[in-house]
């Protein structure tokens, strides 16, 4: 049907423009910092005026929100692709997951700030864009359970431990490896606590 095709075309075009805007926002975040994004700056990068962005996003926070969803979706995709590579041995599995998450978080500061820190004043992710974050944690939980680690407290301790190392690395030795070097040791510490062989 012609009407249907037209509508699809328009929807595609619209989605493409939204992606273009988000790409511009990421680019500006990486250049100037996550919090330094401005609508005028983003608009300029896509060849628009600032108010035109409101055709595609209801507010600046809505742009952050969409970026939040993108980032966690990216993380989820990576974890799903790594799913079959998780070692059989529980201790090795913990190390593998921890290293994967650590590297992902450390490799992109603005992305990590948006995903895991509350660095944008007043921003809270919507339920819709929070979903891939939940899915990622669920996936981690599933892998943990598969390796016999079932207590929520154990997963909580794991996330706090890895998160603490990531934040320390970013805050106190950006670009270095002072805390990255401690990751395996930290995980072994936890594995011992869990009674893993």
The count of other CB atoms within 10 Å of the CB of residue 166 is 23
User: Considering only residues 15, 33, 77, 145, which one is a binding residue for a second copy as defined by CB under 8 A?
Assistant: 33
Contacts of residue 118, defined as CB under 8 A and 6 or more positions apart, other chains included, come to: none
Is residue 13 a contact residue for DNA (CB under 7 A)?
yes
Residue 36 C-beta: closest distance to DNA, Å: 8
Q: Which is nearer to DNA, 41 or 163 (CB)?
A: 41
Tally of residues, the chain: 197
Is residue 155 a contact residue for a second copy (CB under 8 A)?
no
Contacts of residue 108, defined as CB under 8 A and 6 or more positions apart, other chains included, come to: 30
Is residue 9 a contact residue for DNA (CB under 7 A)?
no
Q: Which does 148 bind (CB under 5 to 8 A by kind): DNA, a second copy, none?
A: none
Determine if residue 37 is left, alpha or beta; phi over 0 gives left, psi from -120 to 50 gives alpha, anything else beta.
Answer: beta
Q: Which does 17 bind (CB under 5 to 8 A by kind): a second copy, DNA, none?
A: DNA
Angle formed by the axes of helices 109-116 and 90-106, nearest 10°: 110
Q: Which is nearer to a second copy, 34 or 143 (CB)?
A: 34
Q: Within positions 23 to 42, which residues make up the interface with DNA, using CB under 7 A?
A: 37-41
Q: Which does 83 bind (CB under 5 to 8 A by kind): a second copy, DNA, none?
A: none
User: Is 8 in contact with 14 (CB distance < 8 Å)?
Assistant: no
Residue 22 C-beta: closest distance to a second copy, Å: 20
Q: Which is nearer to a second copy, 120 or 139 (CB)?
A: 120
Is residue 22 a contact residue for DNA (CB under 7 A)?
no
Q: Which is nearer to a second copy, 17 or 168 (CB)?
A: 168
Q: Within positions 39 to 98, which residues make up the interface with DNA, using CB under 7 A?
A: 39-41, 43, 47-52, 54-56, 58-61
d(Cα 111, Cα 70) in Å, to the nearest integer? 10
Question: Residue 68: is it exposed, middle or buried by C-beta count within 10 angstroms (0-12/13-18/19+)?
Answer: buried
């Amino acid at each position: 049907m012609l009407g249907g095709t037209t509508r699809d075309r328009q929807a595609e075009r619209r989605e493409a423009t939204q992606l273009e805007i988000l790409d511009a926002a990421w680019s500006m975040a990486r250049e100037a910092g996550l919090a330094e994004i401005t609508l005028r700056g983003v608009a300029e990068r896509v060849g628009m005026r600032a108010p035109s962005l409101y055709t595609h996003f209801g507010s600046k926070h809505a742009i952050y929100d969409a970026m939040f969803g993108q980032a966690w979706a990216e993380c989820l995709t990576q974890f799903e692709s790594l799913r079959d590579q998780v070692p059989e041995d529980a201790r090795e599995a913990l190390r593998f997951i921890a290293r994967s998450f650590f590297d992902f978080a450390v490799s992109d500061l603005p992305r990590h700030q948006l995903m895991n820190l509350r660095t944008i004043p007043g921003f809270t992710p919507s339920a819709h864009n929070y979903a891939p974050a939940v899915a990622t944690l669920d996936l981690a939980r599933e892998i943990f359970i598969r390796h016999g680690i079932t207590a929520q407290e154990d997963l909580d301790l794991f996330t706090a431990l890895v998160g603490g190392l990531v934040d320390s690395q970013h805050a106190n030795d950006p670009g270095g490896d002072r805390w990255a070097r401690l990751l395996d040791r930290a995980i072994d510490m936890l594995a011992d606590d869990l009674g893993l062989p």
